[in-house]
Amino acid sequence: MLLYLIAQTAAVVLLFLLFSSFFTAWDGAAVSVLQPRADATVVQVLIVNDDGSTLQRTWPSSVVTGLSLPVDALALAPSTVPEDAIRTRKSRYQLQFLIQRPGEDGERQWQGVPTTSAQGVGMVVLLWLIGLGLRNMLYAGSPLAIERSRVFLPKAQAASGTVAGGGVSRGRKSPPPGRKRRGPRR
């Protein structure tokens, strides 16, 4: 049981880190957003790295609202990145990325934005509970039971026409066995 819980927890944590972009890195400019829905809480942002490669990342719409990024329905990178493009970077093995925003005094300031969300944590906890329930159903027969329940079976019955009792049966032709005598024989 303990080994299963350790393995399941490690798998769920790894899944959480994968969904939180823990193993990815970028350093480039956010050039456009994909066409968002009106009620969207997250939007897809197109990022052009310094080496020319592109990637799309999901950012909270509250972060993108103040950036005034152009909307691009095709998600095509421009041939040249504008000088005033919003710089963004994320280091590998971190649960946040940085955005360079224009400040109040005209200078750009870096703002940290977490890559995790309450929905992501809730999904991981739900997956862990579902995995535990499936394990319990396969092992114990119930999603709430941790150990197998003891089953008490009825005693084995003798086949029809045989003497009950499981002892050695005597045939009808021989006399009953004699009593054992105690002491010396005379």
Rounded (5°) CA angle 73-120-11: 120
Q: What is the mean pLDDT of the chain?
A: 83
What whole-number percentage of the chain has pLDDT above 70?
Answer: 88
Amino acid, single-letter form, for residue 70: P
Looking at residue 130, what is its pLDDT?
93
Single pTM value for the model: 0.65
The alpha carbon dihedral of 56, 57, 61, 62 has a sign of negative
Q: Give the pair of three-digit tokens for residue 101.
A: 């925003």
Please, are residues 47 and 81 in contact by the beta-carbon 8 Å criterion? no
Q: Is the pLDDT of residue 84 over 60?
A: yes
Identify any residues that bridge with 60 across adjacent strands, giving them in sequence order: 42
Lowest mean pLDDT among 4-8, 56-60, 153-157: 153-157
Q: For residue 27, which of 87, 82, 89 has the smallest C-alpha distance?
A: 89
Alpha-carbon distance of 81 to 99, in angstroms, equals 16
- Which helix or strand (DSSP H or E) is residue 3 part of? helix 2-19
- With 0-12 / 13-18 / 19 or more C-beta atoms within 10 angstroms meaning exposed / middle / buried, residue 30 is buried
